[in-house]
Amino acid sequence: MRKRERENPCLICGHYHKYEEGEVCGICGHRMPETSDKSSVQSGAFPSEILPDFLFLGSYDNASRSELLKAQGISRILNTVPSCQNLYRNSFIYHSLQDDKSLQFDDAIQFLEQCEREKGRVLVHCMTGKSRSPAVVIAYLMKCKGWRLAQSYQWVKERRSSVELTEAISQQLQEYEHKVFGSNENTVPAESFSFGFAKNDAVPIPAFNTGTGSSIFDRPLEVPTQQFSFGAGQGMNQANPSVSDVSMGGP
């Protein structure tokens, strides 16, 4: 069998398809929705707008361009990297996370909630804007918007396509999701949401609507699990007692 051109699975459904190019997943039908011009257009000099008129995500380079930040109305900066210097203390309100290994999600979220109450625009940044700062924003969406991890990740990824969470950061987010929502039957197993890191187990089961929070992703496929099949098959009301069910994931 020819080796796959794509080594990593889709970051949303866990299956192999070219989701960045809009290709539909042949297993579960997932497709990355098209975003508006405003959300998809990204410039290296400008941070990405995650929540309108409030939450922005970027890199240290973005944080160093004071005039551009002021032009966007940003007055507060959340620095997620202790080694990054806060350059304009006289111009912006800064809050810095102190742990360079484990992200202090609750500390960061408390600052972001204060910014929201005061109606201040805030930039969350790390060195590259690809892992630490996106993780903080994702954690904020889970805690304050009630969105599950998969929903929050997809929202951020659509608005900043360069996001690439490290395996360690991904694990921290999964643990934080468990902390926020608790353990229940609707929780997406860690192996079914791998952030692009290959798993040794069977093909994971996608889950798009696993939470109760209100969001744009809250419309699950209205197809009963036991009646979902690929290709031609018998009618939904027919049964074949002589044929046993076959697992899609293989033996």
Catalytic residue set: 126
| Number of Cβ atoms within 10 Å of the Cβ of 164 | 15
CA distance 23 to 110: 38
CA distance 251 to 20: 31
Q: What's the maximum distance between 2 C-alpha atoms anywhere in the chain? A: 77
Radius of gyration of the chain (CA): 20
| Number of Cβ atoms within 10 Å of the Cβ of 99 | 10
- Are residues 121 and 159 in contact, defined by beta-carbon separation less than 8 angstroms? no
CA distance 197 to 193: 9
